[in-house]
Amino acid sequence: MSKPVPEQHLNLSILKGGKRQSAEHIRQNPVKILQIGEGNFLRGFFDWMINECCKQENYQGSIAVSQPRPSGSAKLAKLKEQDGLYTQITRGLEQGKPVERSEVIPVISRTIDPYTEWEEWLSLGVSSELQVIVSNTTEAGLRYHPEELQEGIPVLSFPGKLAVLLYRRFQAVAGDPGKGLLILPLELLERNGDELKRLVLQYSRDWRFPEDFIQWVERHNRFLNSLVDRIVTGYPEEEAEAWFAELGYRDRMLNAAEPYHFWAIEGEPELDEQLPLRKSGLNVHWVQDLKPYQLRKVRILNGAHTLMTPLALLHGLGHVREVMEHSEFRAFTTGAVEQEIIPVMGMDAGELLHYAESVYERFSNPFIRHNLADIAMNSLSKFRVRLLPSLEAYVEQGKGLPERLVQSLGGLLRYCRVRETEGRYEGTTLRGEPYQVRDDPALLGICAEAWEAGGMEERLLADTVDRLLCNEDLWGRDLTLVEGLAGKVTAYLEELDRH
């Protein structure tokens, strides 16, 4: 007989015995880390790691979490209701053997909304216990949006908020060189640390913060570049009730991830003292040059995701494992990786192939459901960063046009055959089922306009493809200049809709 689904929600009071004691013990640690981002990834990766350090008594600190934009307040409120607790499920294959673990993560001792508690948020930055700032605000969060600084009014952007917080700290410590912070942005962006620092300095100059503050930021705060890797699929919608029955409580912040985790950070092993991640047995590496790790992951793992997603969704598939279990889609994905992506990367092909095989295994993880609809978010900019460089390198190396990458570009254009209604952009699958496309509205507007101009008609398809491929806002260059590309994409699109 299946277990009844409980009514009670996770919070400190429902934990019993040793679990309660250990959670209280960790939550009482001083706040040494300020986390900007309440998303699934940070909770399934960084917070889980800090918990590993705390459990092994290697770390005596806790985390204050705040959301990077006003719309994140609902999730933050849920965390607060649960005393910062949530359950992390880890499921997948470890050395070929299935593992499934769940544990309550108690490292978040405080939640703080910068949009309603601006002064309290800033005062966290002044705390002498604070050592680290960590963030993941997606690529969209690490951008410059000029704004005015007004006394008592919260700053909207994350880098802008950080600039004000650092300025407060600088004033409070009177520029003490020893009181700088370790700043670790985890956004999937090349040289993320350098980029965040650049943005903080840009806001500081806009707001005319003094030069000695700028020097203090430059010299005495460390913005580290790093690359993260773990598939965190978030709240397991379809299995949540079964999990609640198993756990004996309901958890609005339930989070699922694979066992695999990898973090390469550009920095020196001495930083272990502030973040004892390696000492706690985590797969974390201090490296001198991040580039090879970045290239390997973004081109192969993220590239494969971006490659398969629009086409698989158009064909009615729902998640990554389904793609890997579909013989044609699997062959399409592995063929693209092995014949069109790896050969043009200019790195050890054997090592890359080994990595690719581990990625296929992770994609086939029988225990997790990685929704293609989630991966599809911002597909246009992802294609530009994750796949276009492979396509261009293939052409530049005189190999002709890479068949599968071209098809995936065609699939993306077809996926973005959208119409706008009340700010929502909708497309239809090959079977005519509607779906919503979540991407930069400016880019989707370009797509909608181009398809609209062609009247969505097949005879005007070549013009539509030209109009889309020549748009530099979409691709950063005019892709109609790549010989034969527009023709091949058009032919593929005709074939796609015919079948």
Ligand X SMILES: O=P(O)(O)OC[C@@H](O)[C@@H](O)[C@H](O)[C@H](O)CO
Ligand Y SMILES: NC(=O)c1ccc[n+]([C@@H]2O[C@H](COP(=O)([O-])OP(=O)(O)OC[C@H]3O[C@@H](n4cnc5c(N)ncnc54)[C@H](O)[C@@H]3O)[C@@H](O)[C@H]2O)c1
Interface with ligand X (CB under 6 A): 188, 229-231, 301-302, 305, 375, 377
State the binding partner of 375 from ligand Y, ligand X, none, CB within 5 to 8 A by kind.
ligand X
* Binding region for ligand Y (CB under 6 A) out of 14-22, 230-238, 243-251, 450-458: 230-238
Among 29, 35, 40, 390, binds ligand Y (CB under 6 A): 40
Q: How far is the CB of 260 from ligand Y (least distance, A)?
A: 11
State the binding partner of 202 from ligand Y, ligand X, none, CB within 5 to 8 A by kind.
none
The token pair at 67 is 């959301």
Comparing every residue's Cβ against ligand X, the nearest one is: 305
In this structure, are residues 376 and 437 in contact, taking their beta carbons and an 8 Å threshold? Answer: yes
State the binding partner of 140 from ligand X, ligand Y, none, CB within 5 to 8 A by kind.
ligand Y
Q: H or E element: which one contains 122?
A: helix 118-126
State the binding partner of 496 from ligand X, ligand Y, none, CB within 5 to 8 A by kind.
none
Q: H or E element: which one contains 331?
A: helix 327-335
State the binding partner of 305 from ligand X, ligand Y, none, CB within 5 to 8 A by kind.
ligand X
Q: How far is the CB of 191 from ligand X (least distance, A)?
A: 16
By the rule CB under 6 A, 161 interacts with ligand Y: no
Q: Which is nearer to ligand X, 59 or 263 (CB)?
A: 263
Q: Which is nearer to ligand Y, 231 or 489 (CB)?
A: 231
By the rule CB under 6 A, 141 interacts with ligand Y: yes
Name the DSSP letter for residue 10.
P
Q: Which is nearer to ligand Y, 137 or 225 (CB)?
A: 137
Q: How far is the CB of 133 from ligand X (least distance, A)?
A: 21
Conformation bin of residue 331: beta by default, left when phi > 0, alpha when psi is -120 to 50: alpha
Q: What are the residues whose beta carbons fall under 8 Å from the beta carbon of 477, sequence distance 6 or more?
A: none
Do the strands 31-36 and 62-66 form a parallel or antiparallel pair, or are they unpaired? Answer: parallel
Q: Which is nearer to ligand Y, 179 or 297 (CB)?
A: 297
- Tell me whether residue 141 is exposed, middle or buried, using C-beta atoms within 10 angstroms of its C-beta: 0 to 12, 13 to 18, 19 or more: buried
By the rule CB under 6 A, 39 interacts with ligand Y: yes
* Binding region for ligand Y (CB under 6 A) out of 53-61, 64-72, 346-354, 478-486: 64-72
State the binding partner of 302 from ligand Y, ligand X, none, CB within 5 to 8 A by kind.
ligand X
| DSSP E strand boundaries for 153-241 | 182-185, 222-223, 226-229, 232-234
Q: What are the residues whose beta carbons fall under 8 Å from the beta carbon of 218, sequence distance 6 or more?
A: 197, 201
Q: Of the candidates 415, 406, 417, which has an alpha carbon nearest to the alpha carbon of residue 486? A: 406
Cα-Cα-Cα-Cα torsion 312, 316, 317, 318, nearest 10 degrees, comes to 110
CA-CA distance, 304 to 308, in Å (whole number)? Answer: 6
Report the interface residues with ligand Y, using CB under 6 A: 37-41, 67-69, 72, 136-138, 140-141, 158, 188, 228, 230-232, 234
